[in-house]
Amino acid sequence: MGDTDGDRARPRADMRARIVHSIADGSLGAGDALPSVRELAAEAGVAPMTVSKVYAQLRAAGLVESRPGSGTFVAPSALARLGASGADRVWSDLDAAIDRALDAGLSADDVTALFAARILRRTGRARPARVVVVGLFEDATRSYARRIAAQLGEAASVGAVTLGVQPGQVPAETADRLREAEIILTFAALVGRVEALGPAAPIVALRFIPSEETRMALASIDPMARVAVVSRFADYLPVLELGVRRFAPHVADVTVTQMETGDVAATVEGRSVVVMSTGAEAAAERAPAATHVEYRHVPDPADVDRLVRPLLDRMQADAPERKDAR
């Protein structure tokens, strides 16, 4: 007979537990390097994919961090600080509670479930929902996630991942993060690409509106300015041009192009202002003397309240009772 889902998950759970324990007891401190995926896989006798999934779970929990080109390192988390300061009292109290539960005839799985349920009751609320924002460009997507996190508060832990501009260029970490997400937020145009990765979480298409900074920058352009508008994608150019003309109606001299097939150099030559969509920043290099305005968007706060908050409310309502009886 083939392995069950539980059989395949057990090595990941055991490996994750060992790493977490090493961080909590100070054996691994903040900034310490973890073995590479292949090294740990060979040492533990598991597939590299198993290690990749464990590292992805630890990243999602904020316990480790990836540094491109360098590897995976212990993050400066509360658990790492506990390990650095000495956790003897915490360990002794936990061990005593575990021993009493085992002596009462409970299994290890029973003890795990008991601790999870008790923590939920003691904290008075469910853990934050894992929300992931999906975009194409790293800096912009992170800014979307920060705004959504500020709006949702403690009800959600909001992270950001990118798909890559071209289909088929999805980083492995992105697929892992999407599988672990409980709610996925993205642009309507990206829903199909996200669905193709097979996440189980609901995918919510949000509207994105021009940021206040973008609107103010366009409104302050000199009426006599010669403006070039450059879009990263051809199908976004009409939207970008419409936005510029809406927020800078006082500017008459406006020319537009897009980076996929347009002649960017010719369009920006001699222009005093270059307005660029996110992802078209290279256009600024063609006109270094011009004033540069990035046409940035933000998630529509009304959509976040209308579409995301009800999902969070339902998730909390489905969780076990959160408050001790008085």
| Ranges in the chain, pLDDT < 50 | 1-7, 321-326
Whether 326 maps to a domain, the answer reads: no
d(CA 12, CA 50) in angstroms, rounded, equals 6
Condensed to tens digits (0 to 9), the pLDDT of residues 218-245 reads 999 999 999 999 999 888 999 999 999 9
* Residue 50 sits in the same domain as residue 159: no
Q: What confidence score (pLDDT) does residue 9 get? A: 59
* Residue 144 sits in the same domain as residue 216: no
Whether 325 maps to a domain, the answer reads: no
User: Element (H or E) spanning 117, and its range?
Assistant: helix 108-123
Whether 323 maps to a domain, the answer reads: no
What is the full DSSP assignment across 164-188?
A: -SSTT---HHHHHHHHH-SEEEEEG
CATH number of the domain that residue 230 is part of: 3.40.50
Do residues 206 and 234 lie in contact, with contact meaning Cβ atoms separated by under 8 Å?
no
Domain range enclosing 17: 5-84
Q: What confidence score (pLDDT) does residue 326 get? A: 34
* Residue 184 sits in the same domain as residue 223: no
* Residue 216 sits in the same domain as residue 99: no
* Residue 141 sits in the same domain as residue 285: no
Q: What confidence score (pLDDT) does residue 308 get? A: 94
* Residue 307 sits in the same domain as residue 202: yes
* Residue 20 sits in the same domain as residue 73: yes
Whether 324 maps to a domain, the answer reads: no
Whether 143 maps to a domain, the answer reads: yes
CATH number of the domain that residue 199 is part of: 3.40.50.2300
Sequence letter at residue 47: A
d(CA 242, CA 249) in angstroms, rounded, equals 10
* Residue 291 sits in the same domain as residue 216: yes
Whether 141 maps to a domain, the answer reads: yes
- The angle at the Cα of 221, spanning 218 to 227, to the nearest 5 degrees, equals 90
Whether 173 maps to a domain, the answer reads: yes
Q: What confidence score (pLDDT) does residue 244 get? A: 96
* Residue 218 sits in the same domain as residue 291: yes
Number of structural domains in the chain: 4
Cross-strand bridge partners of residue 161:
134
The reported pTM is 0.58
Q: What confidence score (pLDDT) does residue 323 get? A: 40
* Residue 170 sits in the same domain as residue 308: yes
Cross-strand bridge partners of residue 231:
258
Do residues 15 and 54 lie in contact, with contact meaning Cβ atoms separated by under 8 Å?
yes
Q: What confidence score (pLDDT) does residue 179 get? A: 85
* Residue 139 sits in the same domain as residue 189: yes
- 148-173 burial, b if ≥16 CB within 10 A, otherwise e? bbebbeebbbbbbbbbeeeeeebeeb
Q: Which residues contact 279 (CB under 8 A, 6 or more apart)?
A: 136, 137, 140, 165, 232, 233
Condensed to tens digits (0 to 9), the pLDDT of residues 155-200 reads 889 999 998 777 666 777 788 888 889 999 999 999 999 998 888 8
Whether 249 maps to a domain, the answer reads: yes
* Residue 153 sits in the same domain as residue 95: no
CB atoms inside a 10 Å sphere around CB 89: 8
